[in-house]
Amino acid sequence: MCFKKAIQMETLLAQIQGFVAYAETERGLSPHTVAAYRSDLEQFAMLALQRGARSAEDLQEHHLLAWIAQLEA
């Protein structure tokens, strides 16, 4: 993995971690729910990164549709 792609992945994963921390502490969700969210979001992030997204702001509808198609395959 090139350095630039590693930095991009770190950014998106840091944003996911921020959401997960919020879900855990502020919302008080169960550990199982938080773990499921984390797993799903990390899988989505990997697909989005492969398709050019660097951060949550870069995400577009086609990223989500590709992820859903992958889940249904």
- Phi first, then psi: what are they for 66, rounded to 5°? -65, -40
Number of domains present in the structure of the chain? 1
17-52 pLDDT per residue, tens: 999 999 999 999 999 999 999 999 999 999 998 998
Judged by phi (left if over 0) then psi (alpha if -120 to 50, else beta), residue 29 lies in beta
Domain span at residue 54 reads: 3-72
Q: Between residues 21 and 56, which one has the greater pLDDT?
A: 21
| pTM of the complete model | 0.77
Confidence of residue 12 (pLDDT cuts 50, 70, 90): confident
